[in-house]
Amino acid sequence: MATSTPAEPKKKVNRIGLETQEYRGGKTTLCAGCGHNSISERIITACYEMGVDPGQVIKLSGIGCSSKSPAYFLGSSHGFNSVHGRMPSVGTGAMLANQKLIAIGVSGDGDTGAIGIGQFVHLMRRNLPIVYIIEDNGCYGLTKGQFSPTADMGSTLKTGVVNDLPPIDTCALAVELGATFVARSFSGDKKQLQAILKAAISHRGTAMIDVLSPCVTFNDHEGSTKSYSYVKDHGDPLEEINFVPFFDDITVEYEPGTTQEVAMHDGSKLYLTKLDEDYDPLNKIEALRVLTETARRGEYATGLIYLEPDKDDFLTLLNLVDKPLARLSQDEVRPPESALTEIMNKLR
């Protein structure tokens, strides 16, 4: 009698036929419990669930514990670990060379707010298509926990040293400078961060996400405003976010007047159920108001803070040819002699 071997259990794959495993990277070398590790997990899940092709992604970073984290997700993607604070210019170059890439940048509050602030400022005003994540722990984790420019005035180091300088609010700065997608979340808030990351991937333009990401080794004590317990107790979510990707034919039922529906560039939809009635994330002045008021109360406004879905991104403004510049042949980039002669004749 013939015996049949039991069928192998079917592996779960996403819409492009890949398993979650294929979105993972190397084993983390960060401290156990570091917020940055949770953010890597959320990036893995968001890219898997969105069916992002890892071969189309370029991961970019600067220097810091946060900037090491691209090694721990999307192991088969392109990657460039740049110099401290210089990720924006490397990212700009990469996207100019190949505008078909999906750029995911990971920086730290020190990498962005201190040495990299000049580069950050110009990235925000250019609206380059990039998901720019700041893993914000209020300190320089890699160099043993000194205050960074996002540390709040009056917060203390473990040693008791008090920070007497006001913080830079990277979200307010990004809104002010022209970023078209600005959000804040917490590494411990799976649901919110996941929805924000998916929406950021769908956005065509700069998506700046400040993720409060506690450093368990140097900045998780009482007196810190970037500790797990402080952020958990002082987060003020603006809305509940539901993200429906373009490939899912789902409509969300909601009571009229309670939920705002926002169409993303790629046809995906965001359903924002407001928790603060007056809040409209499409209004720049409102965004700055809410950031100022929550900061004054010692709280963090979280969620989608500002969105401008239709502004032209940097590459569109440059009117680039469709074919990635990096793939153009010599013949395509070198004008024929007749073109040069024509120009010379005009100058005579």
User: Does residue 190 belong to the site contacting ligand TPP (CB under 6 A)?
Assistant: no
Q: What contacts 24+ positions apart, CB below 8 Å, involve 149-156? A: 149/109, 149/110, 149/113, 149/114, 149/117, 150/109, 150/113, 150/226, 151/225, 151/226, 152/225, 152/226, 152/298, 155/223, 155/224, 155/225, 155/226, 156/221, 156/223, 156/224
User: How near is the Cβ of 214 to ligand TPP at its closest, in Å?
Assistant: 10
Q: Which residues pair with 58 in a beta bridge?
A: 78, 103
Which residues are CB-neighbours of 94 under 8 A, at least 6 positions away?
58, 60, 78, 80, 101, 103
Where in 104-133 is the site for ligand TPP (CB under 6 A)?
Answer: 108-111, 115
Distance CA 47, CA 219 (A): 29
Helices (H) and strands (E) in the chain, counts: 12, 13
Where in 7-36 is the site for ligand SF4 (CB under 6 A)?
Answer: 30-31, 34, 36
User: How near is the Cβ of 227 to Mg ion at its closest, in Å?
Assistant: 13
Distance CA 267, CA 285 (A): 26
User: Does residue 71 belong to the site contacting ligand TPP (CB under 6 A)?
Assistant: no
Residues in the chain: 348
Contact status, residue 7 vs residue 38, Cβ threshold 8 Å: no
Where in 53-82 is the site for ligand SF4 (CB under 6 A)?
Answer: 65
- Segment near ligand SF4 (CB under 6 A), from 196-204, 210-218, 230-238, 312-320? 210-218
User: Does residue 37 belong to the site contacting Mg ion (CB under 5 A)?
Assistant: no
Nearer to ligand SF4, 197 or 215 (CB): 215
User: How near is the Cβ of 217 to ligand SF4 at its closest, in Å?
Assistant: 4
User: Does residue 216 belong to the site contacting ligand SF4 (CB under 6 A)?
Assistant: yes
| Token pair listed for 290 | 């809410």
User: Does residue 108 belong to the site contacting Mg ion (CB under 5 A)?
Assistant: yes
Nearer to Mg ion, 202 or 213 (CB): 213
The torsion of the CA quartet 135, 38, 20, 210, rounded to 10 degrees, works out to: -30
Size of the site for ligand TPP (CB under 6 A): 18
Nearer to ligand SF4, 143 or 292 (CB): 143
Among 25, 54, 91, 141, binds ligand SF4 (CB under 6 A): 141
- Segment near Mg ion (CB under 5 A), from 51-59, 141-149, 185-193, 281-289? 141-149
The torsion of the CA quartet 152, 154, 158, 161, rounded to 10 degrees, works out to: 120
Residue type, position 95, single letter:
M
User: How near is the Cβ of 39 to ligand SF4 at its closest, in Å?
Assistant: 11
User: How near is the Cβ of 348 to ligand TPP at its closest, in Å?
Assistant: 50
User: Does residue 217 belong to the site contacting ligand SF4 (CB under 6 A)?
Assistant: yes
User: Does residue 109 belong to the site contacting Mg ion (CB under 5 A)?
Assistant: yes
Distance CA 141, CA 340 (A): 55
Residue nearest ligand TPP, Cβ-based: 108
Where in 136-175 is the site for ligand TPP (CB under 6 A)?
Answer: 137, 139-143, 148
How far is CA 282 from each of CA 25, 175, 260, 288, rounded to the nearest angstrom? 35, 11, 10, 11
Q: Which helix (H) or strand (E) holds 266?
A: none
Buried b (16+ CB within 10 A) or exposed e, 78-101: bbbbbebbbbbbbbbebbbebbeb
Nearer to ligand SF4, 124 or 142 (CB): 142
Nearer to ligand SF4, 67 or 192 (CB): 67
Nearer to Mg ion, 147 or 306 (CB): 147
Binding residues for ligand TPP, per CB under 6 A? 63-66, 84, 108-111, 115, 135, 137, 139-143, 148
| Residues within the interface to Mg ion (CB under 5 A) | 108-110, 137, 141
Q: Which residues sit at the interface with ligand SF4, rule CB under 6 A?
A: 30-31, 34, 36, 65, 137, 141-142, 215-218
